[in-house]
Amino acid sequence: MVGKVLKLRIGRLAVAILVVILLVALLGPALAPYDPLVASGAPLAGPSAAHWFGTDYLGRDALSRILAGAPVSVLSAVEVAVIALVVGAVPGILSVYLGRPFEWLTLRIADTLIALPFLVFAVALAALLGNGLTQAMFAVGILLAPVFYRVARAATLSVSQSQYVEAALLVGASTGWIVRRHVWAKVLPPIAISLATTMGAGLVVVASLTFLGIGIQPPTPTWGGMLASDLGYLTYRPYAPLFPTVLIMLTVWAFNLLADAIRDVAGVSGRVMLSGGRRRPTAPRTTADPEIETIEAGRG
């Protein structure tokens, strides 16, 4: 799938942007020209050769703070998506096979999480567990888990009702073998799409929480925290909020482009041929599905 995504123009653009953002997140603190916590110029100075993005209200270099805040801002969004994936996708798949009680319980939990006020729950849980980044990301990941639960459950239901899976059950294939051989391959594309979009949503949520001072306290730099502090000095530096805002918007846009590219590659049936960056449906199959021919391997 990765190769097919890269054949699409939007896929290449999304990957290129995300690679640059990831490098900034990994190497940002080392690339910062000044100490992001120490004043290195006059307060509220404009862009110059010494300070490309100017300085903040304490005289700290704005570029250095953006670079130093990239790891927390970007990698926290990845952490949120991974937590949501594990907490949501695994129960979503198992709800189809572990019986009605487990299905009923997980559905009720998912419905409850969807109904909870997002930021209010995140703030409350962070206050209960301690105002730390890990606690805040855990709360956000739990709230985003129903997205993966519903996607994984819907894909698993469609596979479990297919003829070749029913045939595999009739010849004695185990549930574990069916999940590994058939279900996971069909669930992976929609989960990959949800993962990309959730990373973008996670970045917005992380920026929102740090904007409110939750998870990370000043003077530790974050993109959301810088945006909050810059809004208080718009009279002196009206352009200052532009830098973290553009980075947040660019990253979210790249994640959404990646999700669109994966969706174009997977298509409705998951079998899409790529030609010149455009989708072309495959020719109709005239032979039996090869997956039916492998059901004998799952006996026992």
Q: What is the pLDDT along the chain (300 residues), one digit of tens a residue?
A: 677 888 889 989 999 999 999 999 999 889 899 999 999 888 998 899 999 999 998 899 999 999 999 998 888 888 889 999 999 998 998 888 888 899 999 999 999 888 887 777 777 777 777 667 777 788 888 888 999 999 989 888 888 777 877 777 778 777 777 777 777 778 888 898 999 999 998 888 888 888 877 777 778 888 888 888 888 888 888 888 899 999 999 999 999 999 999 988 877 434 333 333 333 444 444 344 444 444 444 444
Two tokens, residue 108 = 């009720």
Instruction: List C-alpha distances in Å: 243 to 18, 158, 224, 229.
Output: 17, 45, 11, 13
User: Reduced to 3 states, what is the DSSP secondary structure of residue 235?
Assistant: coil
CB-count exposure of residue 294 (10 Å: 0-12, 13-18, 19+): middle
Can you tell me the distance from the alpha carbon of 50 to that of 39, in angstroms, rounded to the nearest whole number?
13
Can you tell me the distance from the alpha carbon of 5 to that of 141, in angstroms, rounded to the nearest whole number?
26
Two tokens, residue 95 = 């709800």
For residues 268-286, one letter each, b for 16 or more C-beta atoms within 10 angstroms of the residue's C-beta and e for the rest, the string is eeeebebeeeeeeeeeeee
What pLDDT is recorded for position 186? 80
- Which residue, among 133, 149, 137, has the nearest Cα to 194 in the 3D structure? 149
Domain 62-240: CATH superfamily, name plus number: MetI-like (1.10.3720.10)
Where do the structural domains in the chain lie, given as residue ranges? 62-240
Contact of 195 with 201, CB cutoff 8 Å: no
Can you tell me the distance from the alpha carbon of 93 to that of 238, in angstroms, rounded to the nearest whole number?
50
The answer to whether the pTM exceeds 0.85 is: no
Q: How far apart are the first and last CA of the chain?
A: 32
What pLDDT is recorded for position 168? 76
What pLDDT is recorded for position 65? 93
| Maximum C-alpha span of the chain | 77
Residues sharing a CB contact under 8 Å with residue 222, sequence separation 6 or more, in sequence order: 69, 72, 73, 206, 207, 210, 216
Strands, E, within 41-196: which ranges?
none
Find out whether the peptide bond into 219 is cis, omega within 30 degrees of 0.
yes
Can you tell me the distance from the alpha carbon of 93 to that of 138, in angstroms, rounded to the nearest whole number?
21
Two tokens, residue 25 = 């997140």
DSSP 24-79: HHHHHHHH-SS-TTS--S-TTPPP-SS-TT-B-TTS-BHHHHHHHHHHHHHHHHHH
Pairing of strands 272-275, 278-281: antiparallel
